Amino acid sequence: MSERGKLSIVSANRHKFLELAELAKDRGIKVEFANLSKVEIQANSLLEVSRTGAMLAFSQLQRPLIVEDAGLFVEALNGFPGPYSSYVFKTIGIEGILDLVRDRTDRSAFFQSVITYVDREQVVSFEGKVEGEIALSPRGRGGFGFDPIFIPRGSKLTFAEMDVRTKNLLSHRAVAFSKFLDFYAPRR
């Protein structure tokens, strides 16, 4: 890897940056927040959204960076809201998702995160996934987005009821970022 120094985390979402910065610190990696509204394409897979977004961001910033894309995939809704979770959160919100699963017996869902790293030489993606279910009502004030209605498997708490460090022990984003760090840390 030819470039040295800090790694840019490209995001329009400061919450995401803070979660990732916390994880990076534990591994002695310096990161900086590049508050760029990256281009997201309409696609059925986060991987496609992430890779296109990362390459377009690199074409602007011209330095090593990662982008992270995440979505909540509800099984009974054919994966909705998936790659469009952010837009769906802003429009119909948590109440909308609860309305849509109200009469469903299957409330299983997963959160997925895809992190794509780009530098001059390569584009590499890492995935993290956490299975769980949609809560009956929103609980907790931590996290962001759909965290108040997502209960990861094995837990009684929603993501929003956990503090950052606890959420970071098991979140989709932490899993993807940890895979990325295993790749990145030895190469710095």
Q: What is the DSSP letter of 1?
A: -
The sign of the dihedral angle between the CA atoms of 80, 83, 84, 90 is positive
Q: Please provide the size of the chain in residues.
A: 188
For its own copies, the closer of residues 56 and 130 by Cβ is: 56
99 binds its own copies (CB under 8 A): yes
- Residue 184's Cβ-count burial label (10 Å; 0-12, 13-18, 19+) is buried
Which residues partner with 7 through β-bridges?
31
For its own copies, the closer of residues 7 and 97 by Cβ is: 97
In this structure, what token pair is assigned to residue 138?
């929103």
Work out how close the CB of 134 gets to its own copies at its nearest, in angstroms, rounded to a whole number. Answer: 14
102 binds its own copies (CB under 8 A): yes
Region 23-62 residues binding its own copies, contact defined as CB under 8 A: 39-42, 44, 49
Which one of 3-11, 14-22, 74-82, 174-182 is the stretch in contact with its own copies (CB under 8 A)?
A: 74-82
Active site residue 69: yes
Which one of 81-89, 114-122, 162-170, 180-188 is the stretch in contact with its own copies (CB under 8 A)?
A: 81-89
For its own copies, the closer of residues 53 and 132 by Cβ is: 53
Nearest to 48 by CA among 83, 85, 8, 87: 83
90 binds its own copies (CB under 8 A): yes
In this structure, what token pair is assigned to residue 5?
């120094």
Nearest to 130 by CA among 114, 115, 149, 152: 152
Residues flagged as binding site for substrate: 11-16, 70, 144-147, 167, 172-173
